């Protein structure tokens, strides 16, 4: 291994010894690719002409305050996920792998992986909690349309955490031919670093766009945090700008005081899950707790290790938005701006709206990580018919 | 002399390999688990390896996952596991006892406290399934400080420099995995004599094969590859869960560790 994979005290590579050669191979391929102009050129071409980058920066016309939205919802696939699956797919090809495996919660990362599986001709297998398979049958069908095999995971709580467990088990036996295309900036080194590097295009573009439009940096940059890939991608180029406040918004679910939330950084303790030392929702003995959020993408009991470091170092602040606050922001954005955003992104927007009400002059950049089509049926069930 | 060293010496003098039996602590409940541990020891296990159940065991196949779930569902906690080990130790002063668990249970208690409690209960070694040699140095040091032998995993795909590191950090025995993958699946086991030779050359503690040992032929093949012993997990756990004769299974497998069993 060339790097120690640490962000302060967090991160590392806590995987069974059998997987270490696979992780070392991936680290080497990734670090080499960063030095390879041909790799970057191919990725840039795909991002521009296949995925649709750069994505727009939209100033909200009717919401209070000065809120800008970085529109990852307009990316091919409907979310920021596409940025990094393209990068990892090119790496998988570079390593000579013929098969992709991935985990998915609601199905967004599964769909993104199915997209690159189809594009590059990989044999693609998606692990998905059996409960999620049932709840998200349309996304399951999307993946199948693009040629992926969806494997329902019946172990544990049958959710995202269990899908990751099963993907890691598959990879332990299959790494010779298979790349594990992990969906977020979590997991063992080099995933958190690699996924951040592939996602930092979000913040790089947004920083340039807002400088061009406003002639200055935003006061606050805000994004939702589940595993944390869209947030770390948006934050990365702003970390050096000390005057810019970075805020990550976690899922406060039904409230931070109960057990039904996904607020790992706010309510978890440092521990080790899925290969990284990071904040983890767990009981006193270290058994992993079940998380909860109305948005499947934030329903995860750990978090990317770089966020753990940004929290402990004080560079970023982390707050929560409840299911109800997120739903209300989701609805408001639809009514006032004509944009249906993902429930995940609505958490970031909910907090931005709170800030905007108190400080109408504050310039806030919100990562709108994904579009809301996937959530429309759930929104209908939760909100009923709009008044 | 450590319990492991004494056991390997005694068996070597008799021309036998070591037979290790794995059971999940508290599966399906604490009383039954204590009875099963007694049964495998009485049936001839030379060393026992015990799992402390974790909610998310990524190195384990369906059989051991289910065992951990049963134990957790019975309300078994880490402290109960240490108490169970202490009972086994009280009745069996000489048998080596190794713990197998996952890193989060250790850090949740703090490394020092976990290692002290494990050693005080009478455990000889600790294997953390998601702790590769890359991360193991400070952990292994703290284990040795607490009087607990660090056991690390070596596989056929483990690079030579990592094997040297494993040799340097390990005490008691070296856990060799016989194939890629997770515990208890039926992919064909491959007992790699080159791995055993490399570990011996690096001065590692005696190599013992685990993963995929379920028949006397597996036991003989592993020992023929030069291993000092074998550990059988999923087959025993599966047998116990199905109400089978665990003692008979252990006797059969143990018998295959003898010189005269090679046929």
The pLDDT tens digits of the residues spanning B151-166 come to: 999 999 999 999 999 9
Q: Whose CA is closest to A362, among A219, A249, A217, A211? A: A219
Element (H, E) at A270: strand A269-273
Compute φ and ψ for B189, nearest 5 degrees: -75, 145
Please check whether the domain covering B3-254 is classified as CATH 3.40.50.620: no
Q: Whose CA is closest to A296, among A139, A125, A121? A: A139
Task: State the nearest Cα–Cα gap between B155 and chain A, in angstroms.
Answer: 6
- Catalytic: A224? no
Q: Does B182 touch chain A (CB under 8 A)?
A: yes
CA distances to A224, A345, B181 from A352, rounded to whole Å, are 11, 11, 46
CA distances to A23, A58, A322, B141 from B158, rounded to whole Å, are 12, 51, 46, 22
User: Which of A180, A188, A287 would best serve as a mutation to test chain B binding (most B beta carbons within 10 A)?
Assistant: A287
List the beta bridge partners of residue B126. Answer: B99, B150
Q: Which two tokens stand for residue A370?
A: 């994904």
Q: How far apart are CA A160 and CA A127, in angstroms?
A: 9
Q: Quick check: helix, strand or coil at residue A65? A: coil
Q: Do B104 and A270 touch (CB under 8 A)?
A: no
**pLDDT digits 0-9 by tens, B82-116:** 999 999 999 999 999 999 999 999 999 999 999 99
From the candidates A80, A109, A189, A261, which is the catalytic residue? Answer: A80
Rounded to a whole number, what is the distance in angstroms from the first to the last CA of chain B?
34
Q: Do A271 and B108 touch (CB under 8 A)?
A: yes
Q: How far apart are CA B46 and CA B69, in angstroms?
A: 27
For the annotated catalytic residues of B, the residue numbers are 49, 60
With beta carbons under 8 A apart, name residues in chain B contacting A173: 180-182, 185, 187
**For chain B, domain boundaries:** 3-254
User: DSSP character for A362?
Assistant: -
Q: Do A176 and B180 touch (CB under 8 A)?
A: yes
Q: Whose CA is closest to A226, among A314, A131, A106? A: A106
CA distances to A61, B43, B234 from B220, rounded to whole Å, are 76, 18, 18
Q: Quick check: helix, strand or coil at residue B195? A: helix
At A345 the pLDDT is 98
Q: Could you tell me the pLDDT band of residue B260, with boundaries at 50, 70 and 90?
A: low
Q: Quick check: helix, strand or coil at residue B155? A: strand
Q: How far apart are CA A165 and CA A377, in angstroms?
A: 29
Q: Could you tell me the pLDDT band of residue B262, with boundaries at 50, 70 and 90?
A: very low
Q: Whose CA is closest to B224, among B216, B214, B232, B235? A: B216
Q: Are A149 and A313 in contact (CB under 8 A)?
A: no
At A387 the pLDDT is 53
Please report the sign of the dihedral spanned by the C-alpha atoms of residue A368, residue A373, residue A377, residue A381. Answer: positive
Q: How far apart are CA B185 and CA A178, in angstroms?
A: 19
Residue in B with minimal Cα distance to A6? B135
Q: Does B154 touch chain A (CB under 8 A)?
A: yes
Residue B245: how many CB atoms within 10 A of its CB? 13
Give the full edge-to-edge strand order of the sheet including B229-232: B149-151, B125-128, B97-101, B47-51, B18-24, B229-232, B207-210, B174-177, B153-155
Average pLDDT of each block of 10 consecutive residues along chain A (387 residues)?
97 97 98 98 98 98 98 97 98 98 93 98 97 87 98 89 95 96 97 98 98 98 98 98 98 94 97 98 97 90 98 98 98 98 97 96 98 92 76
**pLDDT digits 0-9 by tens, B223-250:** 999 999 999 999 999 999 999 999 999 9
At A136 the pLDDT is 84
At B263 the pLDDT is 42
User: DSSP character for A237?
Assistant: G
With beta carbons under 8 A apart, name residues in chain A contacting B177: 17-18
Exposed e or buried b for every residue in A64-80, given b needs 16+ CB within 10 A?
Answer: ebbbbbbbbbbbebbbb
Facing B133 at nearest CB: one of A17, A176, A269: A17
The answer to whether the complex's ipTM is over 0.90 is yes
Residue in A with minimal Cα distance to B181? A173
Q: Decide if pLDDT at B63 tops 90.
A: yes
Q: Are B23 and B40 in contact (CB under 8 A)?
A: yes
Residue A192: how many CB atoms within 10 A of its CB? 33
Q: Whose CA is closest to A70, among A374, A382, A348? A: A348
Q: Quick check: helix, strand or coil at residue B130? A: coil
Compute φ and ψ for A40, nearest 5 degrees: -60, -40
What's the rounded mean pLDDT across residues B181-186? 76
Instruction: Please give the full DSSP string across B71-108, using - where no structure is assigned.
Output: HHHTT--HHHHHHHHHHHHHH-SSS-EEEEE-HHHHHH
At A302 the pLDDT is 97
How many A-B residue pairs are in contact by the CB < 8 A criterion?
114
Instruction: Please give the full DSSP string across B207-249, using - where no structure is assigned.
Output: EEEESS--SHHHHHHHHHTT-SEEEE-HHHHHHHHTT--HHHH
């Amino acid at each position: 291994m060339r790097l120690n994979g640490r962000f302060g005290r967090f991160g590392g590579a806590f995987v069974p010894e059998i997987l270490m050669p696979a992780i070392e191979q991936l680290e080497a391929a990734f670090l080499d690719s960063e030095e390879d102009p041909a790799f970057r050129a191919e990725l840039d071409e795909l991002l521009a002409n296949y995925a649709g980058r750069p994505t727009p920066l939209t100033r909200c016309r009717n919401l209070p305050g000065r809120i800008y939205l970085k529109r990852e919802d307009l990316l091919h696939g409907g979310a920021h996920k596409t940025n990094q699956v393209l990068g990892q797919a090119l790496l998988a090809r570079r390593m000579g792998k013929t098969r992709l495996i991935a985990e998915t919660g609601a199905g967004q990362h599964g769909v993104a992986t199915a997209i690159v599986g189809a594009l590059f001709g990989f044999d693609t297998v998606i692990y998905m909690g059996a409960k999620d398979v049932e709840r998200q049958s349309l996304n399951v069908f999307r993946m199948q349309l693009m040629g992926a095999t969806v494997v329902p995971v019946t172990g544990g709580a049958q959710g995202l955490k269990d899908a990751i467990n099963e993907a890691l088990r598959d990879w332990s036996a299959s790494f010779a031919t298979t790349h594990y295309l992990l969906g977020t900036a979590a997991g063992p080194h080099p995933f958190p670093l690699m996924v951040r590097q592939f996602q930092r295009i979000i913040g790089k573009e947004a920083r340039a766009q807002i400088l061009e439009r406003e002639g200055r940096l935003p006061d606050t940059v805000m994004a939702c945090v589940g595993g944390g890939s869209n947030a770390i991608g948006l934050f990365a180029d702003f970390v050096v700008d000390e005057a810019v406040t970075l805020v990550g918004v976690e899922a406060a679910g039904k409230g931070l005081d109960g057990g039904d939330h996904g607020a790992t950084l706010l309510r978890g303790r440092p521990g080790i899950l899925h290969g990284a030392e990071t904040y983890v929702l767990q009981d006193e003995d270290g058994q992993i707790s079940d998380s909860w959020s109305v948005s499947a993408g934030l329903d995860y009991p750990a978090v990317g290790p770089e966020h753990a470091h940004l929290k402990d170092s004080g560079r970023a602040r982390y707050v929560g938005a409840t299911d109800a606050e997120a739903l209300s922001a989701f609805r408001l954005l639809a009514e006032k701006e004509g944009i249906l955003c993902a429930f995940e992104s609505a958490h970031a927007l909910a907090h931005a709206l709170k800030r905007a009400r108190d400080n109408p002059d504050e310039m806030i950049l919100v990562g709108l990580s994904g579009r809301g089509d996937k959530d429309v049926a759930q929104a209908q069930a939760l909100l009923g018919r709009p008044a | 002399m450590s319990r492991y060293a004494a056991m390997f010496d005694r068996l070597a003098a008799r021309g036998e390999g070591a037979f290790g039996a794995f059971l999940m602590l508290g599966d399906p409940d604490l009383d039954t688990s204590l009875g099963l541990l007694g049964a495998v020891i009485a049936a001839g296990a030379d060393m026992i390896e015990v799992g402390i159940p974790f909610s998310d065991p990524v190195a384990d196949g369906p059989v051991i996952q289910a065992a951990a779930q049963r134990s957790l569902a019975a309300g078994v906690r880490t402290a109960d596991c240490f108490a169970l080990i202490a009972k086994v130790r009280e009745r069996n002063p000489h048998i080596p006892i190794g713990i197998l668990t996952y890193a989060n249970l250790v850090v949740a208690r703090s490394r020092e406290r976990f290692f002290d409690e494990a050693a005080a209960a009478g455990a000889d070694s600790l294997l953390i399934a998601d702790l590769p040699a890359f991360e193991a140095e400070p952990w292994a040091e703290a284990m040795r400080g607490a009087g607990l032998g660090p056991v690390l995993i070596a596989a056929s795909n483990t690079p030579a420099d990592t094997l040297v590191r494993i040799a340097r950090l390990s005490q008691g025995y070296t856990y060799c995995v016989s194939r890629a993958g997770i515990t208890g699946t039926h992919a064909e086991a491959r007992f790699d004599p080159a791995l055993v030779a490399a570990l011996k050359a690096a001065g590692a503690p005696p190599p013992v094969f685990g993963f995929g040992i379920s028949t006397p032929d597996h036991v003989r093949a592993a020992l023929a590859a030069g291993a000092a012993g074998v550990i059988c997990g999923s087959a025993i756990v599966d047998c116990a869960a199905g109400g089978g004769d665990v003692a008979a299974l252990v006797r059969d497998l143990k018998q295959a560790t003898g010189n005269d069993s090679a046929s």
